Amino acid sequence: MKPAIGLLAALAASIGGAAAFDVNCNSNYASYYGQNSARNQKALGEYCKDATEDVIVLAFMNGFPNILLNFANACETTFEGSSLLHCPNIAKDIEYCQSQGKAVILSMGGASGAYGFSGDSDAIAFADTVWNMFFKGKADQRPFDDAVLDGIDLDIEGGSGAGYPAFINQLRTHFASDSSKKYYIAAAPQCPFPDSYLGTTLNSAWFDMVYVQFYNNYCGVNAYPTWFNFGDWDNWAKTKSINKDVKVFIGVPGSPSAASSGYVDGATLTSIYNSVRSKYSSLGGIMTWDVSQARTSGLSGSIRAALDAGGTCKHDGGGSTTSAPSSTSTSTSTSTSTSTSSAP
Protein backbone atom coordinates (compact mmCIF):
# COMPACT_ATOMS: atom_id res chain seq x y z
CA MET A 1 0.00 0.00 0.00
CA LYS A 2 2.81 2.42 0.72
CA PRO A 3 4.18 2.37 -2.84
CA ALA A 4 0.64 2.98 -4.12
CA ILE A 5 0.26 6.06 -1.96
CA GLY A 6 3.63 7.33 -3.14
CA LEU A 7 2.54 6.78 -6.74
CA LEU A 8 -0.68 8.68 -6.05
CA ALA A 9 1.33 11.58 -4.69
CA ALA A 10 3.63 11.60 -7.70
CA LEU A 11 0.73 11.49 -10.16
CA ALA A 12 -1.10 14.25 -8.32
CA ALA A 13 1.97 16.44 -8.46
CA SER A 14 2.37 15.87 -12.19
CA ILE A 15 -1.24 16.37 -13.28
CA GLY A 16 -2.91 18.33 -10.52
CA GLY A 17 -1.39 21.71 -11.32
CA ALA A 18 -0.49 22.48 -7.69
CA ALA A 19 2.22 25.12 -7.48
CA ALA A 20 5.21 24.04 -5.44
CA PHE A 21 6.03 25.96 -2.27
CA ASP A 22 8.47 28.80 -2.95
CA VAL A 23 10.24 30.03 0.16
CA ASN A 24 11.29 33.25 -1.59
CA CYS A 25 7.73 34.61 -1.83
CA ASN A 26 6.36 37.22 0.57
CA SER A 27 2.88 35.72 0.28
CA ASN A 28 3.28 32.34 1.98
CA TYR A 29 0.87 31.13 4.63
CA ALA A 30 2.10 28.74 7.32
CA SER A 31 -0.16 27.20 9.93
CA TYR A 32 0.39 24.76 12.78
CA TYR A 33 -1.46 21.47 12.91
CA GLY A 34 -1.74 18.75 15.53
CA GLN A 35 -2.91 20.23 18.83
CA ASN A 36 -6.66 20.32 18.16
CA SER A 37 -6.79 23.83 19.53
CA ALA A 38 -10.34 24.52 18.30
CA ARG A 39 -11.49 21.03 19.39
CA ASN A 40 -12.62 20.22 15.85
CA GLN A 41 -9.33 19.26 14.23
CA LYS A 42 -9.76 17.29 11.00
CA ALA A 43 -7.37 14.84 9.40
CA LEU A 44 -4.31 16.58 7.98
CA GLY A 45 -5.22 15.81 4.37
CA GLU A 46 -8.53 17.65 4.69
CA TYR A 47 -6.63 20.93 5.04
CA CYS A 48 -4.65 20.21 1.87
CA LYS A 49 -7.63 19.89 -0.47
CA ASP A 50 -7.49 23.60 -1.28
CA ALA A 51 -4.78 26.21 -1.77
CA THR A 52 -5.19 28.05 1.54
CA GLU A 53 -1.99 27.07 3.37
CA ASP A 54 1.48 26.78 1.85
CA VAL A 55 3.26 25.28 4.86
CA ILE A 56 1.83 22.89 7.44
CA VAL A 57 3.82 22.73 10.68
CA LEU A 58 3.20 19.50 12.60
CA ALA A 59 3.05 20.19 16.34
CA PHE A 60 4.76 18.85 18.34
CA MET A 61 7.80 16.80 19.06
CA ASN A 62 7.55 18.00 22.64
CA GLY A 63 10.19 15.70 24.05
CA PHE A 64 13.78 15.22 22.91
CA PRO A 65 16.36 13.76 22.74
CA ASN A 66 14.12 11.12 24.33
CA ILE A 67 11.49 11.49 21.63
CA LEU A 68 7.93 12.28 22.65
CA LEU A 69 5.36 13.17 20.01
CA ASN A 70 1.89 14.61 20.55
CA PHE A 71 -0.65 15.30 17.79
CA ALA A 72 -3.81 15.13 19.95
CA ASN A 73 -6.67 13.37 18.12
CA ALA A 74 -4.72 13.15 14.86
CA CYS A 75 -2.63 10.21 16.09
CA GLU A 76 -3.14 8.09 19.19
CA THR A 77 -1.48 4.81 18.19
CA THR A 78 2.02 3.67 19.14
CA PHE A 79 4.52 1.11 17.96
CA GLU A 80 4.06 -2.22 19.74
CA GLY A 81 5.85 -2.24 23.06
CA SER A 82 6.78 1.44 22.74
CA SER A 83 5.45 4.86 23.73
CA LEU A 84 6.56 6.27 20.35
CA LEU A 85 3.62 7.36 18.22
CA HIS A 86 3.07 5.53 14.94
CA CYS A 87 0.93 7.65 12.62
CA PRO A 88 0.24 5.89 9.30
CA ASN A 89 -2.73 8.13 8.45
CA ILE A 90 -0.67 11.27 8.97
CA ALA A 91 2.06 9.63 6.87
CA LYS A 92 -0.31 9.20 3.92
CA ASP A 93 -1.60 12.73 4.35
CA ILE A 94 1.92 14.18 4.42
CA GLU A 95 2.53 12.69 0.99
CA TYR A 96 -0.81 13.95 -0.24
CA CYS A 97 -0.16 17.47 1.05
CA GLN A 98 3.26 17.48 -0.59
CA SER A 99 1.67 16.37 -3.86
CA GLN A 100 -0.49 19.49 -3.59
CA GLY A 101 2.59 21.71 -3.50
CA LYS A 102 2.68 22.22 0.26
CA ALA A 103 5.69 21.88 2.54
CA VAL A 104 5.18 19.82 5.70
CA ILE A 105 7.62 20.35 8.54
CA LEU A 106 7.86 19.08 12.12
CA SER A 107 7.97 21.46 15.06
CA MET A 108 10.23 20.63 17.99
CA GLY A 109 9.46 22.12 21.39
CA GLY A 110 6.30 23.96 22.32
CA ALA A 111 5.10 25.73 25.42
CA SER A 112 5.34 22.57 27.52
CA GLY A 113 7.43 19.44 27.36
CA ALA A 114 10.73 17.91 28.36
CA TYR A 115 13.34 18.88 25.82
CA GLY A 116 16.85 20.22 25.38
CA PHE A 117 20.43 19.17 24.77
CA SER A 118 23.28 18.71 27.23
CA GLY A 119 25.75 20.00 24.66
CA ASP A 120 26.90 19.85 21.06
CA SER A 121 27.67 16.12 20.96
CA ASP A 122 24.18 15.33 22.25
CA ALA A 123 22.65 17.64 19.64
CA ILE A 124 24.70 16.23 16.77
CA ALA A 125 23.75 12.67 17.65
CA PHE A 126 20.09 13.67 17.80
CA ALA A 127 20.29 15.33 14.38
CA ASP A 128 21.36 11.95 13.03
CA THR A 129 18.37 10.35 14.76
CA VAL A 130 15.95 12.91 13.32
CA TRP A 131 17.34 12.40 9.82
CA ASN A 132 16.89 8.66 10.14
CA MET A 133 13.39 8.77 11.62
CA PHE A 134 11.75 11.61 9.68
CA PHE A 135 13.76 12.23 6.52
CA LYS A 136 15.76 10.09 4.04
CA GLY A 137 17.62 8.00 6.62
CA LYS A 138 16.72 4.53 7.86
CA ALA A 139 15.30 3.52 11.24
CA ASP A 140 13.42 0.52 12.60
CA GLN A 141 10.64 2.78 13.84
CA ARG A 142 9.58 5.75 11.71
CA PRO A 143 6.50 7.56 13.08
CA PHE A 144 5.45 8.62 9.56
CA ASP A 145 6.56 5.40 7.83
CA ASP A 146 8.11 6.16 4.43
CA ALA A 147 6.94 9.79 4.27
CA VAL A 148 9.82 12.27 4.10
CA LEU A 149 9.27 15.63 5.76
CA ASP A 150 10.35 18.95 4.27
CA GLY A 151 12.05 20.39 7.32
CA ILE A 152 12.20 21.17 11.01
CA ASP A 153 10.83 24.06 13.08
CA LEU A 154 12.28 25.04 16.45
CA ASP A 155 9.64 26.39 18.82
CA ILE A 156 11.87 26.53 21.88
CA GLU A 157 10.14 28.05 24.90
CA GLY A 158 12.06 26.48 27.76
CA GLY A 159 15.36 24.98 28.86
CA SER A 160 18.80 26.14 27.79
CA GLY A 161 19.98 27.14 24.36
CA ALA A 162 22.79 24.59 24.36
CA GLY A 163 23.37 22.54 21.24
CA TYR A 164 20.82 23.99 18.83
CA PRO A 165 23.33 25.49 16.37
CA ALA A 166 25.20 22.17 16.28
CA PHE A 167 21.90 20.33 15.76
CA ILE A 168 21.00 22.56 12.81
CA ASN A 169 24.46 22.33 11.24
CA GLN A 170 24.46 18.54 11.43
CA LEU A 171 20.94 18.28 10.07
CA ARG A 172 21.81 20.57 7.18
CA THR A 173 24.76 18.32 6.40
CA HIS A 174 22.27 15.49 5.97
CA PHE A 175 19.98 17.72 3.91
CA ALA A 176 22.88 18.51 1.57
CA SER A 177 23.37 14.80 0.91
CA ASP A 178 19.96 14.60 -0.80
CA SER A 179 19.64 16.68 -3.96
CA SER A 180 16.20 15.30 -4.80
CA LYS A 181 14.30 17.94 -2.82
CA LYS A 182 14.61 21.13 -0.82
CA TYR A 183 14.67 21.08 2.96
CA TYR A 184 13.96 23.93 5.36
CA ILE A 185 14.93 25.08 8.85
CA ALA A 186 12.40 27.28 10.63
CA ALA A 187 12.00 28.82 14.08
CA ALA A 188 9.13 30.36 16.05
CA PRO A 189 10.53 32.97 18.46
CA GLN A 190 8.47 35.29 20.62
CA CYS A 191 8.27 38.85 19.30
CA PRO A 192 10.35 40.57 22.05
CA PHE A 193 13.79 40.99 20.52
CA PRO A 194 16.08 39.18 21.02
CA ASP A 195 14.22 35.98 21.85
CA SER A 196 15.06 34.65 25.31
CA TYR A 197 15.62 31.05 24.23
CA LEU A 198 16.57 31.22 20.55
CA GLY A 199 18.42 34.54 20.32
CA THR A 200 21.92 33.08 20.19
CA THR A 201 20.91 30.26 17.87
CA LEU A 202 19.21 32.65 15.47
CA ASN A 203 22.46 34.58 15.16
CA SER A 204 24.72 31.56 14.70
CA ALA A 205 22.84 28.99 12.59
CA TRP A 206 21.07 28.92 9.22
CA PHE A 207 17.32 29.53 9.09
CA ASP A 208 15.08 29.70 6.04
CA MET A 209 11.93 30.93 7.80
CA VAL A 210 11.20 32.58 11.14
CA TYR A 211 7.60 32.52 12.35
CA VAL A 212 7.65 35.37 14.88
CA GLN A 213 4.85 35.04 17.42
CA PHE A 214 3.34 38.52 17.39
CA TYR A 215 0.89 37.67 20.17
CA ASN A 216 0.80 37.07 23.93
CA ASN A 217 3.28 39.95 24.25
CA TYR A 218 3.42 43.75 24.26
CA CYS A 219 4.78 43.72 20.68
CA GLY A 220 1.88 41.81 19.11
CA VAL A 221 -0.19 42.78 16.10
CA ASN A 222 -2.84 44.09 18.49
CA ALA A 223 -0.30 46.76 19.51
CA TYR A 224 0.21 47.93 15.91
CA PRO A 225 1.67 50.39 15.14
CA THR A 226 2.93 51.62 18.51
CA TRP A 227 4.72 48.56 19.87
CA PHE A 228 4.55 46.18 16.94
CA ASN A 229 8.23 45.49 16.21
CA PHE A 230 8.54 43.77 12.84
CA GLY A 231 11.26 46.31 12.08
CA ASP A 232 13.53 44.76 14.73
CA TRP A 233 13.18 41.37 13.08
CA ASP A 234 13.73 42.81 9.59
CA ASN A 235 16.94 44.41 10.85
CA TRP A 236 18.02 41.07 12.35
CA ALA A 237 17.33 39.32 9.05
CA LYS A 238 19.48 41.76 7.11
CA THR A 239 22.34 42.33 9.57
CA LYS A 240 22.62 39.39 11.98
CA SER A 241 21.13 36.31 10.32
CA ILE A 242 23.55 33.85 8.71
CA ASN A 243 21.08 33.55 5.83
CA LYS A 244 20.57 37.10 4.58
CA ASP A 245 17.58 35.88 2.55
CA VAL A 246 15.74 34.46 5.58
CA LYS A 247 12.01 35.12 5.51
CA VAL A 248 10.20 36.57 8.54
CA PHE A 249 6.51 35.75 9.01
CA ILE A 250 3.84 37.67 10.92
CA GLY A 251 2.64 35.10 13.43
CA VAL A 252 -0.91 35.60 14.72
CA PRO A 253 -3.63 33.67 16.60
CA GLY A 254 -6.18 32.01 14.35
CA SER A 255 -9.09 33.18 16.50
CA PRO A 256 -9.72 35.09 19.76
CA SER A 257 -9.54 31.82 21.73
CA ALA A 258 -6.25 30.70 20.17
CA ALA A 259 -4.09 32.89 22.41
CA SER A 260 -4.31 35.02 25.53
CA SER A 261 -3.89 38.21 23.51
CA GLY A 262 -2.99 39.35 20.03
CA TYR A 263 -5.93 38.40 17.84
CA VAL A 264 -6.96 40.90 15.16
CA ASP A 265 -9.67 40.46 12.55
CA GLY A 266 -9.05 39.80 8.89
CA ALA A 267 -9.41 43.40 7.75
CA THR A 268 -6.98 44.65 10.39
CA LEU A 269 -4.47 41.91 9.63
CA THR A 270 -4.70 42.65 5.91
CA SER A 271 -3.89 46.31 6.59
CA ILE A 272 -0.91 45.34 8.78
CA TYR A 273 0.36 42.85 6.20
CA ASN A 274 0.16 45.42 3.40
CA SER A 275 2.02 47.98 5.50
CA VAL A 276 4.78 45.52 6.40
CA ARG A 277 5.01 44.33 2.80
CA SER A 278 5.58 47.89 1.59
CA LYS A 279 8.41 48.51 4.08
CA TYR A 280 10.30 45.29 4.75
CA SER A 281 11.78 43.00 2.13
CA SER A 282 12.37 40.19 4.63
CA LEU A 283 8.63 39.51 4.87
CA GLY A 284 7.74 35.92 4.07
CA GLY A 285 4.02 35.96 4.77
CA ILE A 286 1.72 35.10 7.68
CA MET A 287 1.67 32.26 10.22
CA THR A 288 -1.29 31.21 12.36
CA TRP A 289 -1.75 29.17 15.49
CA ASP A 290 -3.39 26.97 14.55
CA VAL A 291 -5.09 25.66 11.42
CA SER A 292 -8.19 24.43 13.26
CA GLN A 293 -8.69 27.86 14.85
CA ALA A 294 -8.04 29.84 11.68
CA ARG A 295 -10.29 27.64 9.54
CA THR A 296 -13.11 27.75 12.10
CA SER A 297 -12.98 31.54 12.54
CA GLY A 298 -12.62 32.21 8.84
CA LEU A 299 -9.39 34.14 9.33
CA SER A 300 -7.54 31.72 7.05
CA GLY A 301 -9.68 32.78 4.10
CA SER A 302 -9.00 36.45 4.77
CA ILE A 303 -5.29 35.71 5.00
CA ARG A 304 -5.22 33.83 1.71
CA ALA A 305 -7.08 36.62 -0.03
CA ALA A 306 -4.73 39.28 1.36
CA LEU A 307 -1.63 37.32 0.40
CA ASP A 308 -2.85 36.68 -3.12
CA ALA A 309 -3.95 40.28 -3.63
CA GLY A 310 -0.71 41.91 -2.55
CA GLY A 311 2.05 39.32 -2.45
CA THR A 312 4.75 38.41 -4.94
CA CYS A 313 3.43 34.91 -5.69
CA LYS A 314 -0.17 34.32 -6.73
CA HIS A 315 -1.98 31.03 -6.19
CA ASP A 316 -3.47 29.34 -9.23
CA GLY A 317 -5.89 27.26 -7.23
CA GLY A 318 -3.50 24.34 -6.90
CA GLY A 319 -4.75 21.77 -4.44
CA SER A 320 -8.32 21.66 -5.68
CA THR A 321 -7.91 19.38 -8.67
CA THR A 322 -6.85 16.16 -6.97
CA SER A 323 -8.70 14.00 -4.48
CA ALA A 324 -7.08 13.23 -1.14
CA PRO A 325 -6.34 9.61 -0.17
CA SER A 326 -9.34 7.89 1.34
CA SER A 327 -7.68 7.90 4.76
CA THR A 328 -8.15 11.65 5.05
CA SER A 329 -11.91 11.39 5.04
CA THR A 330 -12.14 8.65 7.61
CA SER A 331 -10.13 10.13 10.46
CA THR A 332 -11.92 13.38 11.17
CA SER A 333 -12.49 12.73 14.85
CA THR A 334 -13.29 15.72 16.99
CA SER A 335 -11.87 14.08 20.08
CA THR A 336 -10.53 16.52 22.64
CA SER A 337 -7.43 14.45 23.29
CA THR A 338 -4.94 16.18 25.52
CA SER A 339 -2.78 18.68 23.71
CA THR A 340 0.59 19.97 24.82
CA SER A 341 -0.03 23.64 24.24
CA SER A 342 -2.70 26.20 23.54
CA ALA A 343 -0.27 28.16 21.38
CA PRO A 344 3.30 27.58 20.21
Query: Catalytic: which of 46, 53, 80, 157?
Result: 157
Instruction: Decide if 193 contacts 232 (C-beta within 8 A).
Output: yes
Closest CA to 287 of 191, 206, 196, 195: 191
Cβ-based neighbours of 314, under 8 Å, separated by 6 or more: 27, 308
CB atoms within 10 A of CB 308: 15
Closest CA to 221 of 212, 234, 208: 212
Q: What separation in angstroms does the CA of 321 have from each of 8, 16, 89, 101, 325? A: 13, 5, 21, 12, 13
Closest CA to 31 of 98, 89, 103: 103
By CB neighbour count within 10 A (0-12 exposed, 13-18 middle, 19+ buried), where does 257 fall?
middle
Instruction: Decide if 110 contacts 155 (C-beta within 8 A).
Output: yes
Look up 157 and say whether it is catalytic. yes
What is the rounded distance in angstroms from the CA atom of residue 172 to the CA atom of residue 183? 8
Residues 79-92: b if buried by 16+ CB within 10 A, e if exposed: eeeeeebbbbbbbb
What is the rounded distance in angstroms from the CA atom of residue 185 to the CA atom of residue 202? 11
Instruction: Decide if 155 contacts 107 (C-beta within 8 A).
Output: yes
Bridge partners, 250 (sequence order): 212, 286
What is the rounded distance in angstroms from the CA atom of residue 91 to the CA atom of residue 225? 42
Cβ-based neighbours of 283, under 8 Å, separated by 6 or more: 26, 230, 234, 247, 248, 249, 250, 276, 277
- Residues with a catalytic annotation lie at 157
